[in-house]
Amino acid sequence: MPRQTDKDLVGITIIDKNESGYVTNCESAGNFDTTASKFAVGCRLVDTTTGKPYYNAGSVAVPSWNSVSEVNNAEMDSGVQKVISVPLTAAQINGMYAAPVEIVPAVAGKSIIVDSVDFDITRTATQFAGGGTAAVQYDSTVHGAGTATTAVIAAAVITAGAGRTITARIPVVLSDVASASIVGKGLYLSNVDAAFTTGTGTAVITVRYHLV
């Protein structure tokens, strides 16, 4: 959808909305608006003054903006499970073959160990086409060639007809993996074979993980 504004959201540029009319992707020059019933849970907001991404970790009624890249002391505790939800626009889904999407920022000196991945997609009448299996991987290697963290998400999950579905994936067994492949590496979503095209749907990917 073309970028737009909302009279109730001063200083917010809207990039995408979901079928319920809630904003799922937007940007602003440092304005972290908390107007009720405007932002979807997980809505992504980029602060154009710093380039940093944030997401709505609160609710539709009471938005709360958390930095996607902020890691506080509690989050650094090894073994403590953390959860992050990142909204995906159609442009990101179509482009993730050549431009993997960052899901969990890297933590210096730590390995991000995935406990589960949930992929919540809302497809429209304009279906995605082409593409290939998708997965959350270590690092931003293009074409889905990074070290996988879970079983793959079938391409048909993305290219199916209009409607909302949820796909859950469990982690793969990591055995004798070179530390350079995972230590200090962020997690990214990419796919193999080819880029998806044409689709106008959106998705939210949720990753549960801990650090070692």
Split at pLDDT 50, 70, 90, the class of 78 is: low
Q: pLDDT digit string (tens) for 39-50?
A: 988 888 999 988
Question: Residue 55 — pLDDT band, cuts 50, 70, 90?
Answer: confident
**pLDDT at 69 exceeding the cut of 60:** no
Nearest 5°: CA angle at 205, between 151 and 131?
60
Q: What is the 3-state secondary structure (H, E, C) of the chain?
A: CCCEEECCEEEEEEEEECCCCCEEEEEECCCCCCCCCCEEEEEEEEECCCCEEEEECCCCCCCCEEECCCCCCCCCCCCCCEEEEEEECHHHHHHCCCCCEEEECCCCCCEEEEEEEEEEEEECCCCCEECCCEEEEECCCHHHCCCECECCECHHHHHCCCEEEEEEECECCCCCCCHHHHECCCEEEEECCCCEECCCCEEEEEEEEEEC
Query: What is the rounded average pLDDT of the residues 55-76?
Result: 70
Cα–Cα distance measured from residue 101 to residue 64, given in angstroms and rounded to the nearest whole number: 22
pLDDT at 61: 87
pLDDT band, residue 131 (cuts 50/70/90): very high
Domain residue ranges of the chain, discontinuous segments joined by +: 4-67, 82-211
Residues 6+ apart with CB under 8 A from 156: none
Residue 56 pLDDT: 82
Mean pLDDT of 13-37: 90
Q: How many angstroms separate the Cα of 117 from the Cα of each of 103, 121, 200, 211?
A: 11, 13, 22, 15
Identify whether the C-beta of residue 55 lies closer than 8 Å to the C-beta of residue 42: yes
Pairing of strands 39-47, 23-28: parallel
Going from the C-alpha of 128 to that of each of 35, 65, 96, 151, the distances in angstroms are 32, 30, 13, 21
Share of the chain above pLDDT 90, in %: 64
pLDDT at 67: 78
pTM to 2 decimal places:
0.68
Please compute the mean of the pLDDT values over residues 152-176 and round it to a whole number.
95
Q: Are 196 and 103 in contact (CB under 8 A)?
A: no
d(CA 125, CA 161): 7
